[in-house]
Structure 1
Amino acid sequence: MKKKKLLRCFLGLIIVLMTVLNGCSSKVAENNADAKSLATYEKLTFNNYDREVVIEAMPQKVLVFGPNNSELFVALGLSDKIIGNSYDNHSRGPLPEFVEDYAKIPELTYADPTREAVISSGADFIYGNDWPFGKEGLDLAELKENGINVYMEKAATFEEIYQEISDLGKIFHVEDKAAAFIADQKARIAAVEKKLAGQEPLKVLVYDFGGEGVFTCSGTNFETLLIEKAGGKNIFDDQTEKQWFTASYEEIIKRNPDVIVIHDYDVPSLEEKIKSIKADPGLSKLDCVKNERFIPIALESVFPGDRMAYSVELLAKGFHPTLLK
C-alpha cells in the first residue's frame, strides 16, 4: 500500500514538473519570438494624414487616447503594449468580449491627456484621436524630442480607419490579425446592408447634448456614415463646415426627424438628456419624441475604431426593429 502511494506521489511530481517545464519552454519560445521580431524590425514610413511617421523599432510602451482605440488594441491582441489610456469619461465600459483585457489597461488620465502625464509616462508611441494635439494641447515636436512617436487616429471614412488598422498591423507585426479584423467588420456591415436593401432611410437627429440648441454632428462626421450603413439619414448631412455644430430647435423641428440617436456618456446622463428633450416645448411636439423613438448609444461607439460593425448593427435594430431582431 505504501509503495502504491509513493508511486502515485512520484508520478504526480513528474506531471507537475513537466507542466512547469512546458510552461517555461513556451515562455522562452514566446520571448525568443519577440526578441527575433525586434531584432529583424525593418523601418516603416507612413503618411498619417499628411504627416510622415517613421517607425524604426517596434513600440513597447504605448499610450492610447480614446476607449474606442484602446478596444481596438485589445481586439488586435496588443493590450499588453499599453501603459496608459485616456478619455474613459466618454466610455460606458468595454464590449463584453474585451472586459477582462481592458480592465488590465492602466489609466493615464480619465479625461484629456495632459502634457505632464504624457511626457513623464515613459511612452515611446501614441495612437489616439487628434483632439489633444495642436496649439493648446500636446506639441508633436516636443513629444518627438522626448522619444514619443505619434500616429493619429482621425479617420473620416471607412477606408481611412481600415488603413489605420492595417498600418497598426504592420507596426506591431500583427498583419494577419488586422486583416482578419477588417474583413470581419466589412462582412458584418455588408450583411446589415443586404437586409435593409430597398428600405427608405429614416430621418435621424443625433443628440449629443442640449442648451441654446442641440449639439449634433454634420455630414462630414464619421457617425453619419454609420447611420447611413444602418438605414438612416442624418438630417444635417448637408452641413459640412464642421464635424460638430449646434443646430437650432427651430431647424430641427422643420426637418422633423423620425428617430433620435442619443449619445450616452458620463455628464449629462442619458436620463437627463431624455428628460430635457421631453421637456422642451418644441422638441416635445415631434412624433419621434411622443413615441419615444430614442436610440441610446455609447459615445465611444460612434467613433472610428473597433466598433463599426457593432454600431451599425445596433443602430439598424433601432431604426428597423422588424427587419433586424
Structure 2
Amino acid sequence: MSKKHFLGFTALALVMTGLLVGCQSTSSEPMKKESDENTANYESLTFDNYGRDVEITEKPQNVLTLGPNSTELFVALGLTDYVIGNSLDNHSRGPLPEYESEYKKIPELTYGSATREAVTTSGADFIYGIDWEFGGEGLDVEELESFGIKTYMNSATTLEEIYQEIYDIGKIFEIEDVATDFVTDQKSRISAVQEKVSNQEPVNVLVYDSGGDGVFTAGGTNFETLLIELAGGKNVFDDITDKQWTTVSYEEVLARQPDVIVVHDYDAPSLEQKIKDIKNDPALSQLDSVKNERFISITLESVLPGDRMAYAVETLAKGFYPGKFE
C-alpha cells in the first residue's frame, strides 16, 4: 500500500470511528435519562405481604411470575413485556384463549418449580409467585433479597386478599386504573352467578386432585373452597381448617356422600385417567355421584388465586346447576 493510500485509509477510519462513537452516544443518552427519570419520579412503596414488609423503590423491569395463575394475571393486566420468565407450567393446561398470544411471548424459566440457580441467574429484579415456591425446599425470600430480587408472594385465601394483591400490583407498575377495572369486572361477574344460584340448595362437592392411599383434596381454608361456595356448592371437607391441602381416606369420602366431584385437570395423571381411577376404585365406585357420572373438570390454575376467580365460579356453577345456565 502506498503512503498516499495509507493516509487516505487512516483518515477514513478516523471519520468512521467518530461517526460510530457519535451514534453510540446519541442512542445511549435517552436510555440513561429514562432510567434516571424512572428512579427519580417513582414514589417509594411499602406493602404488607401477609405479615412481611415489601419495599419497592423503583418500578421493576425484569419480572419472574412463578405459577401459571401469577403469569396469567400479569398478562391480564397488560404487563407481559415486564415478564422475563415463568414456572409451574406442569400445573397448567394453558392460558385462557383471550390471553394465549401474549402468554406465549413469555419465556419458560422452569417447567416445574423454579430452582434457586434458575432464579438467581435470571437477571430478575422482582418476583410475583405462588407461595408453594417459597420456604421449606423452595426459594428463600431473604436470600433473594441479597441478590437484589424483591419478592411479592401470591398467597390469597379470600377474595379481599387477591383483590388487594391486584391493587398492589397496580400501584407497583403504575397501572392502578387497569387493576381497579379488572377487580370491578371480577366482582360483577361473580355477583351475577350468585344471583342465579341464590335460591338453590347447596351442592355437596368433593375436590379430587389425585388418588393413591386416599383422596388428595382441598381443606376448608383453601381458595378453591371459597370459589365452590360462591358458585353455590359446599366442600364436603370444609371442616378441615388446619390444612389447605390434605389426604382423606376413601371411607371418609363415602361417609360424606358428595353430590358432585370436581376433578383437577393438569399434566399427569391425565383427567381421563383420574376419572377412570375413580370409577374403578372399590370404595369411590359406590358413590351415586360416580354412578351418575357427576364429574366437573376444571384446570388447576383456575382454582388458584390469580385472574380466574369469576371464570372459575362461572364454570363450577354451570356444573352444579346446569339447568340454570342453559
Inter-partner Cα distance in structure 2 for 1:150 and 1:226: 26
Deviations 1:51-99 (Å, cap 9, x if unpaired)?
0000000000000011111110011100100000000001001000000
1:225 alignment counterpart = 226
Shift of 1:142: 1.4
The 5-angstrom pairing of residues 83-98 of structure 1 reads 83-98=84-99
State whether structure 2 residue 105 is matched by structure 1 residue 104.
yes
Shift of 1:37: 5.0
Percent of aligned pairs with the same amino acid = 66
RMSD in angstroms over aligned alpha carbons?
1.6
Inter-partner Cα distance in structure 2 for 1:302 and 1:137: 22
SS state of the match for residue 239, structure 2? coil
2:278 alignment counterpart = 277
SS state of the match for residue 155, structure 1? coil
Shift of 1:33: 8.8
Inter-partner Cα distance in structure 2 for 1:35 and 1:159: 36
Inter-partner Cα distance in structure 1 for 2:103 and 2:66: 14
The one-letter code matched in structure 2 to 1:309 is A
SS state of the match for residue 263, structure 2? strand
The one-letter code matched in structure 2 to 1:262 is V
Inter-partner Cα distance in structure 2 for 1:136 and 1:236: 28
State whether structure 2 residue 303 is matched by structure 1 residue 302.
yes
Q: Which runs of 5+ in 1 are unaligned?
A: 1-30
1:113 alignment counterpart = 114
For the 8 Å contact 2:38–2:58, the answer to whether it is kept is: no
In structure 2, do the counterparts of structure 1 residues 120 and 308 end up closer, same or farther at CA, with 3 Å as the change threshold?
same
Inter-partner Cα distance in structure 2 for 1:95 and 1:111: 20
Inter-partner Cα distance in structure 2 for 1:34 and 1:59: 11
Shift of 1:282: 1.2
Q: Which runs of 5+ in 2 are unaligned?
A: 1-31
State whether structure 2 residue 283 is matched by structure 1 residue 261.
no
In structure 2, do the counterparts of structure 1 residues 206 and 42 end up closer, same or farther at CA, with 3 Å as the change threshold?
same
SS state of the match for residue 311, structure 2? helix
In structure 2, do the counterparts of structure 1 residues 34 and 226 end up closer, same or farther at CA, with 3 Å as the change threshold?
farther
1:15 alignment counterpart = none
Shift of 1:244: 0.5
Inter-partner Cα distance in structure 1 for 2:173 and 2:81: 12
Deviations 1:261-301 (Å, cap 9, x if unpaired)?
00000111101100000001111111110111000000000
The 5-angstrom pairing of residues 86-165 of structure 1 reads 86-165=87-166
1:57 alignment counterpart = 58
For the 8 Å contact 2:265–2:300, the answer to whether it is kept is: yes
Deviations 1:23-47 (Å, cap 9, x if unpaired)?
xxxxxxxx99998555410100000
Inter-partner Cα distance in structure 2 for 1:120 and 1:36: 27
The one-letter code matched in structure 2 to 1:125 is F
The one-letter code matched in structure 2 to 1:60 is Q
Shift of 1:130: 1.1
In structure 2, do the counterparts of structure 1 residues 304 and 34 end up closer, same or farther at CA, with 3 Å as the change threshold?
farther
Shift of 1:324: 1.4
Inter-partner Cα distance in structure 2 for 1:263 and 1:135: 25
SS state of the match for residue 127, structure 2? strand
Inter-partner Cα distance in structure 2 for 1:138 and 1:203: 37
Inter-partner Cα distance in structure 1 for 2:138 and 2:100: 30
For the 8 Å contact 2:65–2:129, the answer to whether it is kept is: yes
For the 8 Å contact 2:39–2:57, the answer to whether it is kept is: no
Inter-partner Cα distance in structure 1 for 2:38 and 2:51: 28
Number of equivalenced pairs:
296
Inter-partner Cα distance in structure 1 for 2:324 and 2:154: 33
2:26 alignment counterpart = none
State whether structure 2 residue 184 is matched by structure 1 residue 183.
yes
SS state of the match for residue 322, structure 1? helix
Shift of 1:154: 0.3
The one-letter code matched in structure 2 to 1:270 is L
2:237 alignment counterpart = 236
For the 8 Å contact 2:141–2:151, the answer to whether it is kept is: yes
